[in-house]
Amino acid sequence: QVQLVESGGGLVQAGGSLRLSCAASETRISINAMGWYRQAPGKQRELVAASTSGDSTTYANSVKGRFTISRDNSKNTVYLQMNSLKPEDTAVYYCYARLGTIVYWGQGTQVTVSS
């Protein structure tokens, strides 16, 4: 069982920045992919950014050029640097990690962007 611990959410004004972190409880395993989803009230959960073990990255169109995902594979930690935040970025952000066919989820961290 892998646990994911997230940190870095909070309240920020539009145009501001936040950095989310997500650390896996196990550092001696190989994680295929790590990334972030988000879910706003009344909306479906959507992929924000993902990073594979081959250093390939994927971003939602709505965050391209503003968000950057990075990983420290030695620590099984993934980061999401969020710049130029907009009110529509307000959501609960969930970290995930995929090991083979198993996907683990973090508890979620609230990001609120005020206008």
Residue 4: name the closest of 101, 99, 112, 100 by CA: 99
pLDDT tens, the chain, 115 aa long = 889 999 999 999 999 999 999 999 987 778 889 999 999 999 999 999 999 877 799 999 999 999 999 999 888 999 999 999 999 999 999 999 999 899 999 999 999 999 9
Between strands 109-114 and 4-7, the pairing is unpaired
CA distance 13 to 86: 8
